[in-house]
Structure 1
Amino acid sequence: MANDWHADPLVWGHGPRLLEVFLEPTCPFSVKTFHKLDDFLAQAGESKVSVRIWFNSQPWHLLSPIVTRAIVAASTLDGGKETAKRIMAAVANRREEFVFENHSTGPNRDATPNDVLKRLEEASGVALTQAFEIPDLDSEIKRHTKYARQNGIHSTPTFMIDGLVEPGMGSGDKVAEWVKRFE
């Protein structure tokens, strides 16, 4: 495959204020955060804020690297970030298909990377295999990881507002509480 691919940045909204969220796509707390982002953007105003998702894969979520690569791969396809969002939503809505029980057991231990990719394709309706196989796609995944590390991000979800980590902001907060931070 030629090196003519482009990963669409996972940014929604076009406002001057920036909420960056560092997510692990299979983490229950990241899933809770993901489900609130559209509501946050609607309440805060797309012309006032921008939301950017970064991935910070966690080693205890054992299928995370495959899922993360699939999401980034989806961002290279037609629809870009919206196609990637379909994969994120499929994972969020069917999380049990992409995690191990107690981080170590259960039927997903028998799943191969191809099984996980097939589940993602079936759950989202997005054909991912060709994009998943882009030889240097890992450069984009490494960019996410490097950015997280440069900002001292080690766990997910983590929130940054206008470049500063917000340790008091969490997935359990109401969306209205997030919006108040931008008023």
Structure 2
Amino acid sequence: MTDAQWHADPLTWGTGPRSFEIFLEPTCPYSVRAFNKLDALLSQAGEDKITVKIRLQSQPWHMYSGVIVRCIIAASTLEGGKETAKKVMAAIAAHREEFEFDHHADGANMDVTPNQIIERLEGYSGVALQDAFAIPDLDREIKWHCKYARQNGIHVSPTFMIDGLAQADMSSGDEVGAWVQKLLGS
């Protein structure tokens, strides 16, 4: 697969005119809380009314963030595209502590290699990631996510944007109904 043409499927769901972009670091507990609300958001708001776009926001204090983000992007190149990537994100969310350090600096993951992280994620998600992870220029897609966030002044996760404008008053702790209200009014 490393010499084949590849395509990273955009992490986009819904077809509506209102754009809801969410910048997530997959092992961040607040990002996990927000990620777990996205299906309910689409259901309550209506897939024909909003478009949800996940933007990956790698953060260096989440020590395996780069490896995890690359795994998600790699998954999006596989059969199933964004749904395969979503399956990988759901596995990370369900087993967050397995991919994170205690207090960002210690704990059992201190002795874990990137290959072990990938193997662990393959086991939890059921998605074979090794070959896609090794795509030589996969980093161009990762860099796009990073550049897009920086161009929009996004530095932490989760951060929310509606129709291209950052929403400082939105939080992962908000009820889904509050998000719907913010997106659609009434």
Describe how 1:23-172 pairs up with structure 2 within 5 A. 23-172=24-173
Q: Which amino acid aligns with 1:143?
A: W
**1:3 Cα deviation from its structure 2 partner:** 4.7
Alignment partners' CA distance in 2, 1:61 and 1:151: 21
| Residue deviations 1:6-41 (CA, integer Å, cap 9, x gap) | 000000000011000000000000000000000001
Distance 1:153 1:48 in 2: 25
Tell me the amino acid that sits aligned with residue 53 of structure 1.
I
Q: TM-score, normalised by structure 1?
A: 0.99
Q: Which amino acid aligns with 2:123?
A: E
- The alignment yields a C-alpha RMSD, in angstroms, of 0.6
Q: 5+ residue gaps in structure 1?
A: none
1:86 and 1:161 map into 2 onto residues whose CA distance is 25
Q: Where in structure 2 are there 5+ consecutive unaligned residues?
A: none
1:95-121, Cα deviation, whole Å (9 max, x unpaired): 010000010010101000000000000
Find the aligned partners of 1:2 and 1:99 in 2 and give their Cα distance.
32
Q: Deviations over 1:61-116 (max 9, x none)?
A: 00111000000000000000000001100000000100000100101010000000
Q: 4+ residue stretches of structure 1 with deviation over 6 A? A: none
TM-score (norm 2): 0.97
Instruction: Tell me by how many angstroms 1:2 deviates.
Output: 2.2
CA distance in 2, matches of 1:51, 1:69: 20
Q: Secondary structure at the match of 1:182?
A: helix
Identity of aligned residues (%): 61
